[in-house]
Chain A
Amino acid sequence: MHNSKAHIWFIAPAIILMIIILIFPLFLAGGISFTDYNLGNKTFDWVGLENYDKMFNRKTYVKMIWATATYVIVVVPISVVLGLCAAMLLNSLRFGADIYKTIFFLPVMATLLAMAIAWEFTLHPTLGIVNSFLANGCGGVREFILGFHWLPWVDSQESWYAVACANNMDFPYWLKQKNTAIWTVCFIGIWQAFGFNMVLYLAGLTSIPRELYQAAEMDGAKSTWEQFKLVTWPMLGPTTLFVVTITTIRTFQVFDTIEILTKGGPSKTTYVMMYAIFEKAIQQNLTSIGAAITVVFIGFILVLTFFQRYVIEKRVHY
Chain B
Amino acid sequence: MEAKQYIGEGWKHAILIIGAIVVMLPFYMMVSMSLKSQQEIQSISGGLIGAQETQTFPVCVKTGYSEETCTMKPYQYNYWFAFEKAPIPRYLMNGVIVTLSIFIIQVLVALPCAYALAKLRFYGREFVFSMVLFCLLIPVHGIALPLYVMLAQAGLVDTYSALILPWTISVFGIFLMRQFFMTVPDELIDAARMDGMGEYAIVWKVMLPTAIPALLAFAIFSVVAHWNDYFWPRMVITGNRDLFTPPLGIREFRGGIDSDEFGPMMASIVTVTVPLIVAFIIAQKRFIEGITLTGMK
Show the binding face of A for B, using Cβ within 8 Å.
Answer: 1-2, 4, 6-7, 9-11, 13-15, 17-18, 21-26, 28-29, 32, 39, 86, 89-90, 92-94, 96, 100-115, 117-122, 126-130, 132, 191, 195-196, 199-200, 203, 242, 246, 249, 253, 255-256, 259-260, 274, 277-278, 281-282, 287, 290-291, 294, 297-298, 301-302, 305-306
Tell whether B77 is near chain A: CB-to-CB under 8 Å. no
Contacts of B174 in A (CB 8 A): 14
Question: What per-residue 1/0 map shows which CB atoms of B275-297 lie under 8 Å from chain A?
Answer: 01100110010011001101101
Tell whether B145 is near chain A: CB-to-CB under 8 Å. yes
B109 touches A282 (CB 8 A): no
Show the binding face of B for A, using Cβ within 8 Å.
Answer: 9, 12-13, 15-16, 19-20, 22-30, 33, 41-42, 44, 108-110, 112-113, 115-117, 120-122, 128, 131-132, 135, 137-150, 152, 165-166, 168-169, 171, 174, 193, 198-200, 203, 224, 227-228, 230-231, 234-235, 246-247, 250-251, 254, 257, 262, 266, 269, 272-273, 276-277, 280-281, 284, 287-288, 291-292, 294-295, 297
B179 CB to nearest A CB, Å = 16
B231 touches A274 (CB 8 A): yes
Instruction: Give complex CA distance A7, B115 in Å.
Output: 9
21 A-B Cβ contacts within 8 A? A4-B199, A6-B200, A17-B109, A18-B169, A22-B138, A22-B140, A26-B146, A39-B149, A104-B19, A111-B246, A114-B272, A117-B250, A117-B254, A121-B29, A121-B262, A191-B22, A253-B141, A256-B231, A291-B146, A294-B144, A298-B143
Instruction: Give complex CA distance A103, B24 in Å.
Output: 7
Contacts of A39 in B (CB 8 A): 149, 152
In-complex Cβ contact of A253 among B9, B142, B291 (8 A): B142
Given contacts A13-B109, A18-B135, A112-B228, contact A196 B291 (CB under 8 A): yes
B275 nearest CB neighbor, chain A only: A111
Top-4 shortest CB links A-B = A118-B26, A6-B199, A25-B146, A10-B112
B29 CB to nearest A CB, Å = 4
Contacts of B150 in A (CB 8 A): 24-25, 28
B117 touches A11 (CB 8 A): yes
A2 touches B42 (CB 8 A): no
A26 nearest CB neighbor, chain B only: B143
Instruction: Give complex CA distance A122, B276 in Å.
Output: 22
A287 touches B246 (CB 8 A): no
In-complex Cβ contact of A2 among B139, B149, B199, B203 (8 A): B199
B33 nearest CB neighbor, chain A only: A121
Contacts of B112 in A (CB 8 A): 9-11, 13-14
Contacts of B24 in A (CB 8 A): 103, 106
B294 nearest CB neighbor, chain A only: A246
A18 touches B132 (CB 8 A): yes
Contacts of B152 in A (CB 8 A): 39
Given contacts A10-B116, A22-B140, A121-B29, contact A114 B269 (CB under 8 A): yes
Given contacts A28-B150, A302-B137, contact A93 B26 (CB under 8 A): no
A14 touches B169 (CB 8 A): yes
In-complex Cβ contact of B122 among A7, A93, A255, A281 (8 A): A7
B233 CB to nearest A CB, Å = 10
Contacts of B141 in A (CB 8 A): 253, 255, 274
In-complex Cβ contact of B131 among A15, A21, A253, A255 (8 A): A15
Instruction: Give complex CA distance A106, B259 in Å.
Output: 30
A111 touches B247 (CB 8 A): yes
B13 nearest CB neighbor, chain A only: A96
* Extra pairs beyond A25-B150, A115-B30, A195-B23 (15, CB < 8 Å): A2-B199, A10-B203, A11-B116, A13-B108, A21-B165, A22-B171, A23-B138, A26-B146, A89-B15, A111-B228, A114-B269, A120-B257, A199-B292, A278-B231, A290-B145
Given contacts A109-B277, A111-B250, contact A122 B146 (CB under 8 A): no
**Residue from the set B109, B142, B257, B273 with the largest chain A CB neighbour count within 10 Å:** B142
Instruction: Give complex CA distance A281, B144 in Å.
Output: 10
In-complex Cβ contact of A301 among B15, B137, B146 (8 A): B137
B42 CB to nearest A CB, Å = 6
Given contacts A118-B269, A253-B142, contact A21 B113 (CB under 8 A): no
B247 CB to nearest A CB, Å = 5
Contacts of B23 in A (CB 8 A): 103-104, 106-107, 191, 195
Given contacts A109-B224, A294-B143, contact A26 B138 (CB under 8 A): yes
A12 CB to nearest B CB, Å = 9
Instruction: Give complex CA distance A28, B138 in Å.
Output: 14
